[in-house]
Amino acid sequence: MDPDPALLDIKLLRLLDQLYTTRSVTRAAEALGQSQPTVSIWLARLRAQLGDPLFVRTGEGMLPTPRTDALIGTVREVLAGLQRLTESTQGFEPATAQRRFAICMTDASHITLLPRLLAHVRAVAPGVSLEASRIDGHLAQALQAGEADLAVGFLPWLDAGFYQQTLYAQDWICLANAHHPRVVDDSPMHWNLAAYQAEAHIGISSGTGYQLMDSAVTSKHLTRQIRLELPGFLGLSAILSTSDLIATLPRHIGETLARAAGLRVLPCPFEIPGFTVKQYWHARYHHDAACRWLRGVCAELFMRGI
């Protein structure tokens, strides 16, 4: 016998959605703000009403049955419709809102974007808190599940199911100690490709933009004498200020560090493909009033020019 639709409580549909996303009763309970025993009771009720196990416990987590695979699209359409109905009557008031936003970003954005974003949020939305999360292999899942509200960076692998908006373009520069003994000025007579290859360098393997630089160096058969490798930009300005090493990095983070530490900005003496920094969000939250506000703030702050 088919279940009576009136018996399918909305919280049970949300449970099915979270279990399908997380493959874990524990994580689903956390996302729903419920205890694990409560969620187990809800799952048992849902199984009884739909007449199917729905999820089977395996070593890889709670895997959906074919019935669940067939239902999940309809369930998510219902949840999205209910969300839109709610949002049509409820807006987002930043001045009074109590909300936590998780934004996935690189360590470069921690230095360049996060301070401005935090200052703005503190001024107009004092009850809002921010969490800076990592960009990793779980990014797409985190955005889809609502564990992250936004991602900011150069993330060309995010495609189906994601919206994106360009914030600003990036090209490449070099940084050096302001009193570097051999870099007298940035004129072609003193700073050129030969001088670049003769200097010792810091290699920074952070962000997807790094692959563009590495490919350019390889394709042009350039020689870089790497004397220090860093996983990110933490400590870079202090090292440049106390050494004669050269760093090649995107303009935005480079100029920010140069202003803060009194470093010398030099043009990159060879062509590296530029890239665009964008903000990305999942289609599930495209109409969410709070997320729309956050995206609007980022566009206002960063599309005007950095």
Does the pLDDT value for residue 194 go beyond 80?
A: yes
What pLDDT, on the 0 to 100 scale, is given for residue 189?
66
What pLDDT, on the 0 to 100 scale, is given for residue 88?
52
- Pair 152, 208: CB distance under 8 Å: no
Q: Which of 150, 158, 154 shows the shortest CA–CA distance to 291?
A: 150
What pLDDT, on the 0 to 100 scale, is given for residue 83?
75
Q: Which of 160, 170, 166, 176 shows the shortest CA–CA distance to 246?
A: 176
pLDDT tens-digit profile of 104-157?
999 999 999 999 999 999 999 999 999 999 998 899 999 999 999 999 999 988
pLDDT tens-digit profile of 28-84?
998 888 999 999 999 999 999 999 999 999 988 999 999 999 999 999 988 888 877
Does the pLDDT value for residue 5 go beyond 60?
A: no
- Pair 166, 295: CB distance under 8 Å: no
> Global pTM?
0.69
Does the pLDDT value for residue 209 go beyond 90?
A: no
**Reported confidence tier of residue 7, pLDDT bands at 50, 70, 90:** low
At 135, is the secondary structure helix, strand, or coil?
Answer: coil
Q: How far is CA 286 from CA 14, 77, 102, 161, 296, in A?
A: 18, 14, 15, 10, 12
Q: Which of 271, 306, 250 shows the shortest CA–CA distance to 193?
A: 271
pLDDT tens-digit profile of 217-242?
999 999 999 999 999 998 999 999 99
